[in-house]
Chain A
């Protein structure tokens, strides 16, 4: 692409500054440093320019200027993503949406909130909590991650087992397309006639356009929640308990598993008095009181029958929150027991949990590394944390190898290479393990329908990027090449 490797020229910076204001236009090397990566911190790339628009109108102008300059655009929320979905490409314009952080309207009667993309996930729930409502998807980073980022990644969280993912909770979105057109998808009424473009926008990793407004579904809080924490000799018994609970017709709000190493780490970080055991489960059941009491009682019985060592039921909400804090802090807590670690995100059929965990252990042994496992057991979403020491030559490479092999394992068992972190820049190659040429080509055509020049967030999701209009077979120049808008690299 033209001028893709150089920093943005002074003229473009001036014109962008005229749109968003000088202070919202970052071009100095120190300022750009912050934007070189997201939550996936290796593979840094410096952007050409960062702009922080404050309105849909400003986003439109920014997109038009970027198009004129022939520069790719990388949208960015809070930068908490763990797959490099907001990683810049050389010379690109990063459009940071953190300033667009207002809740525009709350409509409790219809259970909906219209928000800007820079609002954090938790702020939505906070804004409606006093009325007894909440926003269901709850990624672990919910206190900092933004709704725009959630839409891009189709974020989940512990409670999506019962309540679904971002895609099930977005009613409408306003999107700025490549040509600067503003389009509304979905609406305040269900089933807008036509293709469900909203469904494909959610989870498109910022590759179809820039979302500048989102209407979210709000749910009435459940009447009651019952939580228990159960310990087991090993992940085998814990896995059997999960299977038993599901087989009994129970749909928990969340059911999370931690293995020995993850429990050790969580204890080290939070000071919880959890015992040293092979595995633990943390389960939430929620809904109308009588139903929940019944469900929780049966789940506890099933856990006991599966070999639970101990079952703890929180005495009050504070103790319950502490249990969840232990679980939610498990990722970062691993830092207490290892100088470095890599977070993986893969999915397997729930029934294969015990076998896959043994396979992961074998991989770790082969690589002479330790792997801690924290995961959403109800939907088979694994988060193996591969521990290593970057100072020891070869360990980082071996850790990366373990990560890749775990993803292959997930595909082999019929699962997925990502359950909630997204493909981003990190897993583009793994996409080819899961999808064939025709599958990827279909996705690529969908992208072309939105963004004919493939300028939004290039280098993500697809293992082999392709220009729109380009089909496998004899070379035919793309219309944009003929018009001089893009070059073939």
Chain B
């Protein structure tokens, strides 16, 4: 048995597979030692953070050990005047935000469940929220990483300055790799100032075509919201525009959006803080609710047509109390609910994938009950570059011991 390991319990399961061993290294050095020991014993391992995205991916093909990052929770460095921070992988996102706030800074990533979601997990699973519209996703704010390779070798990539083109961008490659290439041990991120003011304007009850027109017109008007998000239960859409910045700027932009609403003959309201919180709470509930959650990606302008087609049918027939969040400027939607039946759900997934394939889009099951997983592939058709991805896996994890079977194409 690997030193320092405890017995795995059902609470440690990864998509239903219980590991024999659980390790919780308390430092980056200990993490490297743990991976070295697992390599010597040729044990398969999955890395676990706050478990918020644990259901993404099929169950591991083999699972001997889980390495939990919870004790890698230190803030290694925060340089407020350089607007960067280096954080150990196990620190929850919300805790980082609390440490940054007194310096009037934040990490501009806002996936749901920030109290649980760890920095390492957010990065490894490419988790994001509505602010992706303005600030991008994890790949756009990560500037450096340290990681431990499958054989226990510690290594790093990138650095701690935002502008840096020295060497291949290994950190960005590890973003979204779901722990199948290396264990991320620290993450260095670019920070942004906390805005002085935040305001939301809500358009309630729009049809898909109206929503599309509104989003396009806001762009023509050169408005610069930090988030654009729509909520739907299968019928009309409620769209919120969030503006962040200095008070005069946000006030003026809200004013212009409201007058644009007048021109388009739509009713819109400036939300007070309570109402805005209510909207984003509804948003979070959709992102985290239900036993079946799907992520849909399309070219941005096609998203609303998907919403009124296959997504609407999925919400109405395949999900009970289903709902969806759309980020129409990004081209991403998340739908969630409980499947009416596994057959209905897999049919809806297949139908949506057929429509998406024609647009170059994709549908991924972010969470699904075993019965749905049995009928529908988690990742969908593999991308044309799968052969390179397989070779990359062979290069960095030659024995296929890091979360085997969890990634695209069986990687």
B-side binding surface: helix, strand, loop or mixed? mixed
On B, residues with C-beta under 8 Å from A are 79-84, 104, 126, 136-137, 139-140, 149, 153-157, 159-170, 172-173, 175-177, 181, 192-196, 216, 219-220, 222-224, 245-246, 248-253, 256, 295, 297-302, 330-332, 356, 359-362, 364, 379-380, 382-389, 391-392, 394-396, 407-409
A294 touches B169 (CB 8 A): no
**Residues on the A chain within 8 Å of B84, using CB:** 349
With A and B bound together, what is the CA distance between A295 and B195 in angstroms?
12
With A and B bound together, what is the CA distance between A292 and B224 in angstroms?
12
**Residues on the A chain within 8 Å of B164, using CB:** 347, 415-416, 418-419
Instruction: Out of A165, A249, A292, name the residue touching B195 (CB < 8 Å).
Output: A249
Minimum CB distance partner of A243 in chain B:
B81
- Which stretch from A24-32, A228-236, A257-265, A438-446 is at the chain B interface? A438-446
B154 touches A434 (CB 8 A): no
A108 to chain B, nearest CB (A): 9
**Residues on the A chain within 8 Å of B246, using CB:** 249, 291, 294-295
Minimum CB distance partner of B193 in chain A:
A249
With A and B bound together, what is the CA distance between A177 and B192 in angstroms?
38
B380 touches A193 (CB 8 A): yes
Question: Which of B81, B136, B162, B302 has the most CB atoms of chain A within a 10 A radius of its CB?
Answer: B162
A221 touches B383 (CB 8 A): no
**Residues on the A chain within 8 Å of B332, using CB:** 190-191
B140 touches A164 (CB 8 A): yes
B154 touches A417 (CB 8 A): no
Instruction: Out of A192, A289, A295, A348, name the residue touching B362 (CB < 8 Å).
Output: A192
Query: In the complex where A193-B382, A194-B382, A243-B81 touch, is A165 in contact with B388 (Cβ < 8 A)?
Result: no
A and B contact pairs by CB, cutoff 8 A, 7 listed: A181-B387, A197-B388, A288-B223, A295-B249, A416-B165, A419-B163, A439-B167
Query: In the complex where A204-B168, A222-B222 touch, is A291 in contact with B245 (Cβ < 8 A)?
Result: yes
**Residues on the A chain within 8 Å of B173, using CB:** 195-197, 199-200, 446
B385 touches A185 (CB 8 A): yes
Instruction: Out of A167, A247, A445, name the residue touching B395 (CB < 8 Å).
Output: A445
Instruction: Out of A110, A379, A435, name the residue touching B162 (CB < 8 Å).
Output: A379
With A and B bound together, what is the CA distance between A249 and B80 in angstroms?
11
- Residues from 167 to 208 in A contacting B, C-beta threshold 8 Å: 167-168, 177, 181, 183-185, 187-197, 199-200, 202-204
With A and B bound together, what is the CA distance between A417 and B153 in angstroms?
24
Known contacts A350-B83, A417-B166, A443-B168, then 17 further A-B pairs from the complex at CB < 8 Å, ordered by chain A residue: A109-B301, A154-B165, A189-B299, A190-B297, A193-B379, A194-B408, A197-B173, A290-B249, A291-B246, A349-B160, A350-B82, A414-B160, A436-B155, A436-B156, A442-B170, A442-B396, A446-B395
B228 to chain A, nearest CB (A): 13
> Does A420 lie at the interface of the complex (its beta carbon under 8 Å from any beta carbon of B)?
yes
A104 to chain B, nearest CB (A): 15
A467 to chain B, nearest CB (A): 13
With A and B bound together, what is the CA distance between A221 and B220 in angstroms?
9
Query: In the complex where A194-B389, A202-B169, A376-B163 touch, is A220 in contact with B384 (Cβ < 8 A)?
Result: no
> Does A246 lie at the interface of the complex (its beta carbon under 8 Å from any beta carbon of B)?
yes
With A and B bound together, what is the CA distance between A448 and B297 in angstroms?
30
With A and B bound together, what is the CA distance between A197 and B391 in angstroms?
12
B385 touches A184 (CB 8 A): yes
A375 to chain B, nearest CB (A): 11
**Residues on the A chain within 8 Å of B216, using CB:** 109
Give the A-B pair count, Cβ closer than 8 A: 269
Please tell me the number of chain A residues within 8 Å of chain B, measured between CB atoms: 92
Q: Which 10 interchain pairs have the tightest Cβ spacing?
A: A291-B249, A249-B193, A290-B252, A199-B172, A223-B222, A445-B395, A449-B392, A416-B164, A351-B81, A438-B155
A187 touches B161 (CB 8 A): no
A137 to chain B, nearest CB (A): 12
**Residues on the A chain within 8 Å of B80, using CB:** 247
**Residues on the B chain within 8 Å of A415, using CB:** 159, 161, 164
Query: In the complex where A160-B163, A288-B222, A422-B165 touch, is A197 in contact with B396 (Cβ < 8 A)?
Result: no
A184 touches B384 (CB 8 A): yes
With A and B bound together, what is the CA distance between A199 and B300 in angstroms?
20
**Residues on the B chain within 8 Å of A294, using CB:** 246, 248-249
B176 touches A288 (CB 8 A): no
**Residues on the B chain within 8 Å of A443, using CB:** 157, 167-168, 170
**Residues on the A chain within 8 Å of B330, using CB:** 190
- Residues from 329 to 379 in A contacting B, C-beta threshold 8 Å: 347-351, 376, 379
> Does A251 lie at the interface of the complex (its beta carbon under 8 Å from any beta carbon of B)?
yes
B19 to chain A, nearest CB (A): 24
B259 to chain A, nearest CB (A): 14
Instruction: Out of B104, B251, B385, name the residue touching A194 (CB < 8 Å).
Output: B385
Query: In the complex where A419-B165, A442-B155 touch, is A288 in contact with B224 (Cβ < 8 A)?
Result: yes
B166 touches A431 (CB 8 A): yes
With A and B bound together, what is the CA distance between A107 and B302 in angstroms?
12
**Residues on the B chain within 8 Å of A132, using CB:** 220
**Residues on the B chain within 8 Å of A199, using CB:** 139, 169, 172-173, 175
With A and B bound together, what is the CA distance between A167 and B249 in angstroms?
29
With A and B bound together, what is the CA distance between A109 and B389 in angstroms?
31
B159 touches A167 (CB 8 A): no
With A and B bound together, what is the CA distance between A284 and B220 in angstroms?
22
Query: In the complex where A164-B140, A189-B299 touch, is A351 in contact with B79 (Cβ < 8 A)?
Result: yes
Question: Which of B164, B300, B387 has the most CB atoms of chain A within a 10 A radius of its CB?
Answer: B164
**Residues on the B chain within 8 Å of A181, using CB:** 387
B392 touches A191 (CB 8 A): no
Query: In the complex where A223-B222, A246-B81, A449-B388 touch, is A156 in contact with B154 (Cβ < 8 A)?
Result: no
With A and B bound together, what is the CA distance between A441 and B168 in angstroms?
11
A203 touches B165 (CB 8 A): yes
A193 touches B364 (CB 8 A): yes
**Residues on the A chain within 8 Å of B196, using CB:** 249
A193 touches B362 (CB 8 A): yes
- Residues from 63 to 106 in A contacting B, C-beta threshold 8 Å: none
- Residues from 379 to 394 in A contacting B, C-beta threshold 8 Å: 379-381
**Residues on the A chain within 8 Å of B384, using CB:** 183-184
A298 to chain B, nearest CB (A): 8
A195 touches B176 (CB 8 A): yes
Minimum CB distance partner of B82 in chain A:
A349
> Does A314 lie at the interface of the complex (its beta carbon under 8 Å from any beta carbon of B)?
no
A288 touches B139 (CB 8 A): no
**Residues on the B chain within 8 Å of A293, using CB:** 248
B388 touches A251 (CB 8 A): no
Contact string against B for A residues 136-167, beta-carbon threshold 8 Å, 1 for contact and 0 otherwise: 00000000000000000110100010001101
With A and B bound together, what is the CA distance between A181 and B169 in angstroms?
23
Minimum CB distance partner of B84 in chain A:
A349
Query: In the complex where A199-B173, A419-B164, A461-B168 touch, is A291 in contact with B253 (Cβ < 8 A)?
Result: yes
A117 to chain B, nearest CB (A): 18
> Does A287 lie at the interface of the complex (its beta carbon under 8 Å from any beta carbon of B)?
yes
**Residues on the B chain within 8 Å of A414, using CB:** 159-161
> Does A447 lie at the interface of the complex (its beta carbon under 8 Å from any beta carbon of B)?
yes
A353 to chain B, nearest CB (A): 10
A416 touches B159 (CB 8 A): yes
Minimum CB distance partner of B407 in chain A:
A194
Minimum CB distance partner of A192 in chain B:
B383
With A and B bound together, what is the CA distance between A450 and B149 in angstroms?
19
B251 to chain A, nearest CB (A): 7
**Residues on the B chain within 8 Å of A156, using CB:** 163, 165
Minimum CB distance partner of B168 in chain A:
A443
> Does A111 lie at the interface of the complex (its beta carbon under 8 Å from any beta carbon of B)?
yes
With A and B bound together, what is the CA distance between A151 and B5 in angstroms?
45
